[in-house]
Structure 1
Amino acid sequence: MRISTVTMYEQSVNSMNRQQGEFMKVGQQIATGRRVVNPSDDPQAASRAVGVSQAKAVTQQFADARVSARNSLSQSESVLNSVSDAITSAKTLMVQAASDTLSDVDRQSVASELRGIYETLIGQANATDGNGRYLFGGFNDDAPPFQKNETTGAIEYQGDLNVREQRIDASRLLPVVDHGQTIFRHGPGGDATDLFQTMETALEALENPRGPDFRDDINSVMRELDNSLDNVLTVRASVGARLNELDVVDAVGGNRMLNYEQTLSDLVDLDYAEAISEYSLRQVGLQAAQKAFVDIKGLSLFDYLR
């Protein structure tokens, strides 16, 4: 069977193009650091990599949500620490005011100091998250949750009873901010023995120390302040527990992310040592194909007649 010069020429061109294509493919893999540059390089690995990448993206979304949840809980914890300190200071002042050695003028002075603590508590109850959202108003976070009733002068809760939550993992919806009713009021239903009303009662007793119920009022205020402090400390402990839970979920999520990254690497990343070796081999093959093409291209009828 005769092989024509045209056939030899075409085979040489095809061999050179094939070698050049393989050489360029390995070069592209080395340049990108990926074994699977195009889905056609390894359809099965490419398909699995898509699924792993999607799972990794969801895991990252949960990680971002945990950052937001941690910020909210940390802000709440900071405010609650300040609230508990303020209540403790108020208790100290009430113990001082109950002393028989104090004059009416002295108690007026204590009342003035207590009023400053009262205003501080109102400010803490209306704390914001730094972005203009009120922390303790439930879903009604666009206005101060605690406002003074102009008719009665009492501080009233204007928020709702919803607890803001954040999904920190596929199976966990975490409460990130407690509403103000839970924090600043205590008892069944969250509406008995109000902290602000307790402060009002304390101020009224100190500003009118000669009233017949002065001692009873002071004792009642002390009990209510104890109850309020216990309540705030309970909420604060709950916030701390949720922050600890975030640490645990973060660790699990971090390990999951590492596993996804390793899986992706196994599926699509390049073994540089193997690739460089193949690159050198493809380069030699391409050079050989190019030389063969040049040799065939230079042949003529006279070469066959020699």
Structure 2
Amino acid sequence: MRISTVTMFEQSLNSLNRQQGEFLKVGQQIASGRRVVNPSDDPLAASRAVSVGQSISSVEQFSTARVSVRNSLSQGESVLNSVSDSLIRAKTLLVQASSDTLSPADRQSVAAELRGLREGLLGQANTTDGNGRYLFGGFQDNAPPFERDGDAITYEGDSNVRVQRVDGFREMPVSDPGDAIFGDIFDTLQRAIGVLEAEGKQVDHESLRQAMRDVDASFDNVLTVRASMGARLNELDAIDTVAGNRMLSYQQTLSQLVDLDYAEAITEYSLRQVGLQAAQRAYVDVQGLSLFDYLR
């Protein structure tokens, strides 16, 4: 079987192109640090890598959502801690005001402090999350949930609970509506203030006792909501731990699928370089062949 010069030339050129392509491919892998640079390098691994990458993106998105929820809950818990302190002080003042030893001027002083506490509670009830959203307005979080009309304070939000998905199968309440937290508080304090500011030396003890019972009920309710927020914060910590382990597993799987073994790649790079040099020499030799070489 005779092999023509053209055939030898084509075979040599194909070998050169193949060796050069493999050499460049390994070089690209080393430069990128990835074994699978193009899907054609390993279609199965590339397909699985896309799926794992989507899972990683999902975990990252939920992680961002949890940061937002944690910020809202932490801020809400902090506000309710201050509300609890205000209610404790209000109860202390009401107990003092119930004493018959207080003069009308003393009761006026107590009433003034209660009025200041009421104003502070109004500011706390209208707290925003730093992004202009009101914490305790339910779905109506773009305007102050509590509005003043003279001495009357009314709730203008709604009773809906805002929720946000914090993991694949968990939606968590972000905050609690203000009517469920501050419900009998403003009216209770206003009634007590009215009793203390009334003219006369005799104080309405029954009204003050009722105000104390209402403050106690409000305090217990605030503690319940705070406990719920604390439980949600603890749950977020647990979800973060699970998600962190899941992310580590995904990253390890992705690395196994597409990342490069540098030691192996460098060895192959050296071999491909030798192969390319051999193909280049063979090509040069074939180019030099002609019929005249045999006629000399």
1:239 Cα deviation after fit: 0.2
Q: Distance in 2 between matches of 1:100 and 1:271?
A: 86
Alpha-carbon contact 2:104-2:201 (below 8 Å) kept: no
1:111 aligned onto 2:83 = no
Q: 1:209 to 1:245 in 2, by over 3 A?
A: farther
The alignment's TM-score, normalised by the length of structure 2, stands at 0.96
* Structure-2 residue corresponding to 1:141: 141
Q: Distance in 1 between matches of 2:215 and 2:222?
A: 10
Alpha-carbon contact 2:34-2:259 (below 8 Å) kept: yes
The alignment's TM-score, normalised by the length of structure 1, stands at 0.93
Unaligned runs of 5+ in 1: 186-193
1:168 aligned onto 2:158 = no
Percent identical across equivalent pairs?
Answer: 69
Measured on the aligned residues, the alpha-carbon RMSD in Å equals: 1.5
Alpha-carbon contact 2:5-2:290 (below 8 Å) kept: no
1:213 Cα deviation after fit: 5.9
Whichever residue aligns with residue 68 of structure 1, its letter is: S
Q: Distance in 1 between matches of 2:135 and 2:258?
A: 46
Alpha-carbon contact 1:107-1:209 (below 8 Å) kept: no
* Structure-1 residue corresponding to 2:209: 219
Alpha-carbon contact 1:139-1:160 (below 8 Å) kept: yes
Aligned pairs for 1:63-74 (under 5 A) are 63-74=63-74
Unaligned runs of 5+ in 2: none
Q: 1:271 aligned to 251, 254, 261, which one? A: 261
Q: Distance in 1 between matches of 2:167 and 2:294?
A: 77
1:43 Cα deviation after fit: 0.7
Q: Distance in 2 between matches of 1:207 and 1:246?
A: 47
Divergent runs of 4+, >6 A: none
SS of 2:165's partner is strand
Q: Distance in 2 between matches of 1:101 and 1:228?
A: 28
* Structure-2 residue corresponding to 1:239: 229
* Structure-2 residue corresponding to 1:179: 177
1:305 Cα deviation after fit: 4.6
Q: Distance in 2 between matches of 1:109 and 1:3?
A: 116
Q: Distance in 2 between matches of 1:94 and 1:258?
A: 56
Q: Distance in 2 between matches of 1:231 and 1:22?
A: 72
SS of 1:233's partner is helix
Alpha-carbon contact 1:205-1:211 (below 8 Å) kept: no
Q: Can you list the C-alpha shifts for 1:8-62, whole angstroms capped at 9, x where unaligned? A: 1111111111100000000000111111111111111111111111121112111
* Structure-2 residue corresponding to 1:191: none
